[in-house]
Structure 1
Amino acid sequence: MANIGSAEQMRDPNFTPPLAVAIPLGIQHVLAMFVSNVTPAIIVAGAAGFGFGSNSPDFPELLYMIQMAMLFAGIATLFQTIGMGPVGARLPVVQGTSFAFIPIMIPLVAGKGVDGLAALFGGVLIGGLFHACLGMVIGKIRFALPPLVTGLVVTMIGLALVKVGIEYAAGGVPAKASGSASYGGLLSWSAALVVIFVTLAVKFFTRGMLSISAVLIGIVVGYVYCMMVGMLPPTKIAASWNNAAVFALPQPFKYGFEFSAAAVIGFCLMAFVSAVETVGDVSGITKGGAGREATDKEIAGATYADGLGTAVAGVFGALPNTSFSQNVGLIAMTGLMSRHVVTFGAIFLIICGLIPKVGGVIRTVPIEVLGGGVIVMFGMVVASGISMLSDVVWNRRNMVIFAVALSFGLGLQLEVMNLPAGAPNALQHLPDTLRILGASGILPAALIAIVLNLILPEDLPDEATDEVSGGLAGHGTGSLTGE
Structure 2
Amino acid sequence: MTNLATGAYSDPNQTPPLAQAIPLGIQHVLAMFASNVTPSIIVAGAAGLAFGGAEQVYLIQMAMLFAGIATLLQTVGIGPIGARLPIMQGTSFAFVGVLAGIAAVQGLGVALTACLIGGVIHFCLGAVIGRLRWLFPPLITGLVILAIGLYLIPVAIKYAAGGAASFQMEAESFGSLMHWTVALSVVIVALVLKFFTKGTTSSAAILIGLIVGYLIALAFGMVSFAPVAKASWITGITPFPYGFEFSLGAVIAVTLVSIVSAIETVGDTSATTKAGAGREATSEEIAGATYADGLGTAVAGVFGGLPNTSFSQNVGIVGMTGIMSRHVVTIGAIVLILCGLVPKIGAVIASMPLPVLGGGVIVMFGMVAAAGMNMLSEVEMNRRNMVIIAVSLAAGLGLNLVPTAVQYLPGVIKILATSAVAPTAIVAIFLNLVLPQET
Partner of 2:197: 206
Give 1:101-180 correspondences, 5 Å limit: 101-110=95-104, 116-174=107-165, 180=171
Listed one character per residue, the Cα deviations across residues 148-173 of structure 1 (whole Å, up to 9, x for unaligned) are: 11111000000110011111111112
Q: 1:428 to 1:351 in 2, by over 3 A?
A: same
CA 1:28–1:245: 2 relative to 1, 3 Å: same
Structure-2 change in CA distance of 1:379 and 1:7 (3 Å): closer
1:393 aligns with 380
Residue number among 33, 56, 69 corresponding to 1:62 in the alignment: 56
Gaps (5+ residues) in structure 1? Answer: 54-58, 417-424, 461-483
Deviations 1:195-246 (A, max 9, x none): 11111111111111111111011111111111222222xxx22x12221111
**In the alignment, what sits opposite 1:46?**
45
Matched residue, 1:85: 79
Structure 2 Cα separation of the partners of residues 96 and 285 of structure 1:
16
Q: Write out per-residue CA displacement over residues 42-87 of structure 1, whole angstroms, 9 at most, x where no aligned residue.
A: 001111111125xxxxx11111000000000000000000001110
What is the aligned partner in structure 2 of residue 426 from structure 1? 405
**CA distance 1:178–1:283, change in 2 (3 Å):** closer
Give the corresponding residue for 2:425: 446
Q: How many aligned positions are there?
A: 439
Contact 2:269 2:289 in 1 (8 A): yes
More displaced 10-residue stretch of structure 1: 326-335 or 246-255 = 246-255
Checking the alignment, whether the CA contact within 8 Å between 2:217 and 2:353 is kept in structure 1 is yes
CA distance in 2, matches of 1:332, 1:3: 9
Alpha-carbon displacement from aligned partner over 1:90-126 (angstroms, at most 9, x marks no partner): 00000000000111011111166xxx12111110000
Residue number among 242, 266, 270 corresponding to 1:255 in the alignment: 242
For the residue of structure 1 that corresponds to 2:290, the secondary structure is helix
> Which residue is 2:219 aligned to?
228
Question: How many angstroms apart in 2 are the aligned matches of 1:160 and 1:16?
Answer: 41
In structure 2, list runs of 5 or more residues that go unmatched. none
1:219/1:3 CA distance change after superposition, 3 Å: closer
Please point out which of 288, 298, 302 is paired with 2:275: 288
The sequence identity of aligned pairs, in percent, is 60
Distance of aligned partners of 1:178 and 1:198 in 2 relative to their CA distance in 1, 3 Å threshold: closer
Q: Which residue of 2 aligns with 1:475?
A: none
CA distance in 2, matches of 1:264, 1:76: 21
CA drift of 1:397 comes to: 1.3
Tell me, yes or no, if the aligned pair for 2:62 and 2:303 is still in contact at 8 Å.
yes
SS at match of 1:231: coil
Q: Which residue of 2 aligns with 1:324?
A: 311
Whether the aligned pair in 2 keeps the contact of 1:279 and 1:303 (CA below 8 Å) is yes
Structure 1 SS opposite 2:358: helix
Aligned 8 A contact 1:124 1:320 in 2: yes
Deviations 1:247-279 (A, max 9, x none): 012111121111111111111111111001101
CA RMSD across the alignment? 1.6
The one-letter code matched in structure 2 to 1:426 is A
The offset of 1:441, in angstroms, is 2.1
Please point out which of 94, 97, 103 is paired with 2:91: 97
Measured after TM superposition, the shift of residue 177 of structure 1 is: 8.7
TM-score (norm 2): 0.97
Say whether 1:15 aligns with 2:14: yes
Contact residue 195 and residue 373 of structure 1 kept, 8 A: yes
SS state of the match for residue 115, structure 2? helix
- Distance of 1:262 and 1:175 partners within structure 2: 25
The answer for the alignment partner of 2:301 in structure 1 is 314
Give how far 1:180 is off. 2.3
Residue of structure 2 aligned with 1:372, choices 333, 355, 359: 359
SS at match of 1:230: coil
- Alpha-carbon distance between aligned partners in 2 of 1:312 and 1:7, rounded to the nearest angstrom: 36
Give the Cα separation in 2 of the matches to 1:218 and 1:248.
29
The alignment's TM-score, normalised by the length of structure 1, stands at: 0.88
Report how far residue 174 of structure 1 moved. 2.3
Q: Which has the higher contact order (CA 8 A, sep 6+)?
A: 2
- 2:181 aligned with 1:190: yes
Q: Which digits, 9 at most, give the CA deviation of each residue in 1:409-468, with x for residues without a partner?
A: 12112111xxxxxxxx111221111100111122111111111111222136xxxxxxxx
Divergent runs of 4+, >4 A: 1-4, 6-9, 175-179
Structure of larger gyration radius = 1
Q: Is the 8 A contact 1:11 1:335 kept in 2?
A: yes
- Contact kept in structure 2, 1:157 and 1:442, CA below 8 Å: yes
CA distance in 2, matches of 1:176, 1:436: 22
Residues in 2 aligned to 1:88 and 1:254: alpha-carbon distance in whole angstroms:
27
* Residues 175 and 182 in structure 1, CA contact (< 8 A), matched pair in contact too: no
Distance 2:347 2:278 in 1: 42
Q: Which residue of 2 aligns with 1:37?
A: 36
CA contact (8 A) 2:50 2:167 kept: no
Is structure 2 residue 403 aligned with structure 1 residue 436? no
Q: Which moved more, 1:213-222 or 1:44-53?
A: 44-53
What displacement does 1:179 show?
6.5
